Amino acid sequence: MKLAKIGWIATMVFLAATLVSCGKQEEAKVAKAVSEAKKEVVADVKAVEAAAKELEAREIAIDAYMFAYPLVTMEITRRVMTNIDKPAGSKAPMTQFARLRSYPAVDDHSVVAPNADTLYTVAWFDVSKEPWIVSIPDMKDRYYLFPMLDAWTNVFQDPGKRTTGTKAQKFAITGPGWSGTLPAGVTEYKSPTGLVWVLGRIYCTGTPEDYKAVHALQDQVSAVPLSAYGKPYTPEPGKVDPAIDMKPPREQVNAMDAATYFKLFAELLKTNSPAADDAPMVAKLARIGIVPGQDFDVSKLDPAVAKGIAAAPKPAQEKISVWLKEAIVAGDAKLENGWMFFTKVGVYGTSYRQRAMITWYGLGANRMQDAVYPTSTGPSIVSKYSGKNKYVMHFNKGEMPPANAFWSIVMYDKDYFFVPNAINRYTVSSRNKFKTNADGSVDIYIQHESPGKDKEENWLPAPADTFVLMMRLYWPKDRAPSILDGSWKPPHVKEAS
């Protein structure tokens, strides 16, 4: 329409110009008409250019939003989890370990998709100034995993039973650009970013006796700065900032307007540089005013560009959330009997949308060799689970999930948090003593109401409304039967007849 109008105005300019020959008495009117027509042409050209700029900026900002989502979410999560004066529950000051003494409480929404198989031992570090040395005790053959996530949620190291064994060990987390000498017996793990999240897990059966044993191991996990290694060291109390919003991190991130979001993103880029492979994305960021190492000020941008950026968050969030299913078509995920799991988890390369989606649904995910997380939102890709129905998951004899460490199936509500229930059961796992059928097979009953006293050993309680199931295979077997090579598949959850 704009181009048609411009053409019409140009024609009018031509006609107006020919009127000059009709007499000098019309010259003033013609000059005025020509001037006004020219102004309209210029204005319409500028409007077309502005619309194009706005559209381009919107599309770039959507990609930028997805690229930044893990970094921004990690920072907000860090703030929430470290805004405390001393360790308590799932929170602890920076560089101090939060030692969870029990499985996450049903109302603890600080981390999405929590588990009820391990006790977390968690700490946040800023290694941009100096390395931190972490000590792990002898785990006495117990399964544990202490993955280290950089600020972009990539697991850059994963010490644990599978990779480094269960004997006592010490490692130094060093920041980008650091060089120096480490004490004897200390292994260096270099982080590509200044921010590091050590998300330790130690297997626990949940009994009082095992809680006590794991607590003793947790108490021996420690961290000191390199400058204090070998000397008496007492961490300083944390400083509580009342201005920090303590609502669930994902809720905070998703509520940010574009200017706030990208301003924080630019600030975080100063100590958490993109990877070398991110160069094409970094070039795109510059086109909307985001340059690593520099502040972001939307008020200094072209108004059309600023308008395009402002419109990006909602469509970007939609693209992140729906990737859970679109990844199947793209080949980045597998769908087996209603269970979907991703083949790129923990290390993402340039799969930015997938990285953002994993952050959205399960921040802190491990490498696939350490854990696989098949997830099922319904009996089929087009239907969702509902507590109004009853479901059965049938395992043939000898075909329970193949894992070297352990497996579990966790019940979540639609937002990926535990579901309150009368028997306080949020998972069924390899430590359960299931009631078997005559042929040795096992049926797990997934429903809101009890299936009856004689079947409650095999009951996974569901909420009254929509729910999600997540299976965990820690240290999945790499030989048949194995979920890694497709020789084992999770059985279908079927609606009970």
Whether the predicted pLDDT of 9 surpasses 60: no
Q: How much is the pLDDT for 496? A: 92
Residue-averaged pLDDT of the chain: 92
Model confidence over 164-179: pLDDT tens digits? 999 999 999 999 999 9
Sign of CA dihedral 432, 435, 440, 444: negative
Distance between CA atoms of residues 489 and 480, nearest Å: 11
Q: What single-letter amino acid sits at 431?
A: R
Q: What single-letter amino acid sits at 182?
A: L
Distance between CA atoms of residues 458 and 469, nearest Å: 15
Q: Can you give the residue ranges of every domain in the chain?
A: 84-228, 320-495
> Taking the model in full, what pTM does it have?
0.85
Distance between CA atoms of residues 238 and 246, nearest Å: 16
Domain range 84-228, its CATH number among 2.102.10.10, 2.60.40.1610, 3.40.80.10, 2.60.40.10: 2.60.40.1610
DSSP 8-state secondary structure symbol assigned to residue 366: P
Distance between CA atoms of residues 465 and 419, nearest Å: 11
Does residue 325 sit in helix, strand or coil? helix
Q: How much is the pLDDT for 117? A: 93
Does residue 157 sit in helix, strand or coil? strand
Does residue 59 sit in helix, strand or coil? helix
Distance between CA atoms of residues 6 and 11, nearest Å: 9
Which helix (H) or strand (E) segment holds residue 145: the answer is: strand 144-145
Distance between CA atoms of residues 83 and 98, nearest Å: 12
Tell me the backbone φ, ψ of residue 114, rounded to 5 degrees. Answer: -70, 165
The answer to whether 77 and 199 are in contact (CB under 8 A) is no
Whether the predicted pLDDT of 24 surpasses 90: no
| Burial classification of residue 104, based on how many CB atoms lie within 10 Å of its CB (0-12 exposed, 13-18 middle, 19 or more buried) | buried
Tell me the backbone φ, ψ of residue 413, rounded to 5 degrees. Answer: -80, -175
Distance between CA atoms of residues 100 and 136, nearest Å: 16
Model confidence over 354-399: pLDDT tens digits? 999 999 988 999 999 999 999 999 998 789 999 999 999 999 999 9
The answer to whether 115 and 204 are in contact (CB under 8 A) is no
Pairing of strands 132-136, 169-174: antiparallel
Q: What is the DSSP string of 393-441?
A: EEE-TT-S--EEEEEEEEEEETTS-B---TT---EEETTS-PPBPTTS-
Using the CB atoms, write b or e for 320-331: b if 16+ within 10 Å: beebbeebeeee
> Which CB contacts under 8 angstroms, 24+ apart, belong to 327-332?
327/354, 327/357, 328/381
Is 320-495 in the same CATH topology as 84-228? no
Q: How much is the pLDDT for 3? A: 47
CA 397 to chain centre: 36
| Both tokens assigned to 262 | 């990208």
Confidence class for position 89, pLDDT limits 50, 70, 90:
confident
Q: Which residue has the higher pLDDT, 13 or 42?
A: 42
Give the fold, CATH level 3, of 320-495: Jelly Rolls (2.60.120)
